[in-house]
């Protein structure tokens, strides 16, 4: 029997997260949402389509009015309004109306983009998240943030739109490309660092099993992360306050992602951004030197970068200013008061940010030293 976790929105039950080890229970979950009366459109990317597109379509098509699939080329470069426009065209051609439903089958790009289509098509239709990457299971599929990139700026256009269901099949993690898998681990570390010191210790203890994708350990890890995320988004669904804590590592991370033209994965940039934030926390004497180096080195066994080359630190600093995490022109930086407790801080100076960027920057001089 699959485990489930209900998520509230405005203190009322809104959707369940279902933790399963196959897609077998999906049709029944969808029945509960009344799909026998609905058209369904599975939105997925070319990579996930090859793996699961047809099997998920088959599972669902006999139980609904009509099921169609819209597949776009995989990659962050396609998380744009152009792809959204193509999706609208399919929905219009297939006669989708407001009572029909979308299904996001894929990772963070698919989930964010499908959610945005769902938030805007006919002023909003229902959607379901079927996250197929570690990153989307532990973070992006939960909490209703949807959107696309604009002119290379991450998630610059978007909306809050809660899914009707988040169905996780843990087994998909087994087929996940290694780099994608480890990229997701950066968001796992983030969850532990901001809210749960015991979970951070658990990650250290279970490092080997996590790298080896032990199913029981993975399930526990995903459940603990989603438990943290649930508590945060239930308290502050539209990021008026504490939800911003989930952005640990994202201000500098997003800047690196853009500067590197999306050649590094999101989680890889979050790892770098988290190290930079931990560095500032150490310099402010919130973390000890030992804690800073431990946090930094925790990314190494997971093949996540702890330095980045070929960047211009001044450009990264400039790009941090165009990230969305600003209030009244001031960056809302997330720092670590201690392991397991993050804080929002609007007083971080350009000098501190630059020093942190230089800490993770592997320059030509380092190479020749
Ligand atoms: N990924 C951060 C959030 O959902 O708020």
**Atom number in ligand 1 closest to CA 243:** 5
> Quick check: CB of 139 below 6 Å from ligand 1?
yes
Which token pair is 60? 């669902």
Q: In angstroms, what is the span from residue 187 Cα to ligand 1's centroid? A: 10
DSSP result, 8-51? EETTEEEEEEEEESSSTTHHHHHHHTTGGGSEEEEEEEHHHIII
Please identify, by atom number, the ligand 1 atom nearest to the C-alpha of residue 142: 4
- Residue whose CB lies within 8 A of the most ligand 1 atoms, among 246, 249, 257, for a mutation test: 246
- Give me the pLDDT at residue 276, please: 98
243: Cβ below 6 Å to ligand 1?
yes
- Cα–Cα distances (Å) from 349 to 204, 247, 316, 338, 344, in that order, read 32, 18, 14, 20, 14
Q: Please, where are the H alpha helices in the chain?
A: 26-32, 46-48, 54-61, 81-93, 108-120, 134-135, 172-175, 178-195, 197-205, 207-211, 215-235, 250-259, 266-283, 289-298, 313-320, 350-360, 364-368
Burial (Cβ within 10 Å: 0-12, 13-18, ≥19) of residue 139: buried
CA of 224 to the centre of ligand 1 (A): 16
Pairing of strands 39-45, 66-72: parallel
266 lines ligand 1 (CB under 6 A): no
Query: What are the pLDDT tens digits along the chain (369 aa)?
Result: 789 999 999 999 999 999 999 999 999 999 999 999 999 999 999 999 999 999 999 999 999 999 999 999 999 999 999 999 999 999 999 999 999 999 999 999 999 999 999 999 999 999 999 999 999 999 999 999 999 999 988 899 999 999 999 999 999 999 999 999 999 999 999 999 999 999 999 999 999 999 999 999 999 999 999 999 999 999 999 999 999 999 999 999 999 999 999 999 999 999 999 999 999 999 999 999 999 999 999 999 999 999 999 999 999 999 998 766 666 667 899 999 999 999 999 999 999 999 999 999 998 777 776
Structure confidence at residue 364 (pLDDT): 75
Our answer on whether the CB atom of 190 is closer than 6 Å to any ligand 1 atom is: no
pTM: 0.95
Please tell me the predicted confidence (pLDDT) of residue 363.
Answer: 82
What pLDDT score was predicted for residue 368? 73
| Nearest Cα residue to atom 2 of ligand 1 | 246
For the Cβ of 246 lying below 6 angstroms from any atom of ligand 1, the answer is: yes
In contact, 135 and 187? CB cutoff 8 Å: yes
Q: What angle do CA 295, 297, 300 make, to 5 degrees?
A: 125
């Amino acid at each position: 029997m699959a485990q489930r976790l209900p998520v509230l929105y405005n203190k009322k039950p809104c959707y369940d997260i279902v933790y399963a080890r196959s897609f077998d229970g999906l049709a029944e979950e969808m029945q509960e949402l009344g799909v026998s009366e609905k058209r369904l459109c599975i939105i997925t990317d070319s990579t996930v389509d090859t793996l699961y597109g047809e099997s998920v379509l088959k599972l669902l098509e006999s139980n609904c009015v009509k099921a169609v699939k819209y597949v776009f080329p995989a990659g962050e470069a396609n998380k744009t309004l152009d792809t959204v426009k193509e999706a609208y065209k399919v929905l219009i051609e297939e006669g989708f109306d407001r009572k029909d439903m979308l299904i996001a089958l894929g990772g963070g790009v698919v989930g964010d983009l499908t959610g945005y289509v769902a938030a805007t098509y006919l002023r909003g239709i229902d959607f379901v998240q079927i996250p197929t990457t570690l990153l989307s299971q532990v973070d992006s599929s939960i909490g209703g943030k949807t959107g696309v990139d604009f002119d290379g700026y991450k998630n610059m256009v978007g909306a809050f739109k809660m899914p009707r269901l988040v169905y996780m099949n843990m087994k998909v993690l087994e087929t996940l490309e290694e780099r994608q898998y480890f990229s997701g681990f950066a968001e796992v570390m983030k969850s532990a660092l901001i809210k749960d010191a015991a979970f951070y210790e658990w990650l250290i203890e279970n490092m080997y099993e996590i790298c080896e994708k032990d199913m029981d350990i993975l399930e526990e890890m995903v459940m603990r992360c989603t438990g943290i995320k649930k508590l945060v988004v239930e308290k502050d669904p539209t990021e008026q306050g504490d939800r911003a804590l989930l952005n640990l590592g994202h201000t500098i991370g997003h800047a690196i992602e853009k500067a590197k033209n999306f050649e590094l994965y999101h989680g890889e940039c979050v790892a770098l951004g988290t190290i930079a934030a931990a560095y500032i926390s150490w310099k402010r004497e919130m973390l000890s030197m030992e804690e800073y180096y431990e946090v930094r080195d925790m990314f190494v066994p997971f093949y996540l970068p702890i330095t980045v080359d070929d960047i211009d630190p001044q450009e990264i600093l400039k790009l941090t200013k165009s990230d969305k995490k600003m209030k009244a022109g001031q960056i809302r930086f997330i720092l670590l008061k201690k392991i397991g407790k993050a804080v929002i801080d609007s007083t971080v100076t350009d000098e501190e940010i630059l020093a942190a960027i230089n800490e993770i920057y592997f320059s030509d001089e380092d190479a020749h030293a």
